[in-house]
Amino acid sequence: MRKNICSVLCGGAILLGVAACAKAPAEAEQAGGAAAVSQETKEEASNGKKILVAYYSYSGNTKAVAGQIAAALGADLFEINTVETYPSAYGDLVDQAQREIKAGFKPQLSSRVENMAQYDVVFIGSPNWWGTVAPAVSSFLSQYNWEGKQVAGFFTHGGGGMQNCGRDLQRQLPGAKVLSPVAFAGRSSGAPQKELQAWLTQLGLK
C-alpha cells in the first residue's frame, strides 16, 4: 500500500509537468465503440510467430507506438476501449484515474480479442498513469489466459519513465513468459525508430 501511495505521489509530481501536453481522446478512438483486430489477418509474423499488439491510449501517444510495432513486425492491432468514456477535462481525468487505480477498479471494455489463442506473442501498450498501467489495461489483462504466451509491455510517459508499469503488468500475467518492457517519452509521432528497432531486436522478434 505504501508503495502504491508513493507511486501515486511520484506520479503527481510528473503530472504537473505533463498536464499541458494532454489532449482530449481522439474522436476516432471513441467512434464505433468496438475496436476489432485489423480485418486483414497477417499470416506471416516475425520469426514465424503470430503477434498481436494490443494497446490502450487516451491521447494518441501509445497508439502511435503500437502502430509502429505492428508495422515493424506485421502484427495484428487491437485497441482497448472502455464502455464509459473518460472525462475530457484533464483535472477530472487525473482525479478519476487516481481513484480507480487506488481502488483497483477495472472498467468495462467494449470489445474482446476473439481468437486470443492464435497468438504466440502479445505486445501490450499503456500510458503511464500515476506510475502504473491504465485501469483499462488491467481490465484487458484479466480477461484472457496468458499461460505459455510471450508478452512484452510498452509504455509511454510524461517524464516519469517506466516507474511501476513493467512490474505491475507482469503481476497481472500469470503463466506468461514476460519479455523485457520498454518505456518511451510520450509523443504523438511515436517512439524514435532506432530505439524501437533496438528493443525489438533485443526481444529476438526482429
Ligand X SMILES: Cc1cc2nc3c(=O)[nH]c(=O)nc-3n(C[C@H](O)[C@H](O)[C@H](O)COP(=O)(O)O)c2cc1C
Query: Rule CB under 6 A: which of 44-83 touch ligand X?
Result: 57-63
Residues binding ligand X: what is the number (CB under 6 A)? 28
Of 70, 97, 173, 191, the one binding ligand X by CB under 6 A: 97
93 binds ligand X (CB under 6 A): yes
Nine cell digits for residue 96: 478519476
Smallest CA-to-CA distance from 60 within 189, 161, 198, 149 is with 189
15 binds ligand X (CB under 6 A): yes
**DSSP H helical segments within 60-188, as ranges?**
61-73, 90-103, 135-142, 165-171
- Smallest gap from residue 57 Cβ to ligand X (A): 3
139 binds ligand X (CB under 6 A): no
Q: At what angle do helices 61-73 and 193-202 cross, to 10 degrees?
A: 60
Contact predicate 187/61, CB 8 Å: yes
User: How far is it, in rounded angstroms, from Cα 135 to Cα 127?
Assistant: 10
Phi, psi values for residue 32, rounded to 5°: 80, -5
61 or 150, CB closer to ligand X?
Answer: 61
- By the 10 Å C-beta count (0-12 exposed, 13-18 middle, 19+ buried), 142 is classed as exposed
135 binds ligand X (CB under 6 A): no
25 or 51, CB closer to ligand X?
Answer: 25
94 binds ligand X (CB under 6 A): yes
14 binds ligand X (CB under 6 A): yes
Choices 35-43, 112-120, 150-158, 194-202 (CB under 6 A): range interacting with ligand X? 150-158
129 binds ligand X (CB under 6 A): yes
Contact predicate 82/110, CB 8 Å: yes
Strands 121-129 and 132-133: antiparallel
45 or 52, CB closer to ligand X?
Answer: 52
17 or 174, CB closer to ligand X?
Answer: 17
Name the residues that contact ligand X, by CB under 6 A: 11, 14-15, 18, 21-22, 57-63, 93-94, 97, 127-131, 156-160, 163, 186
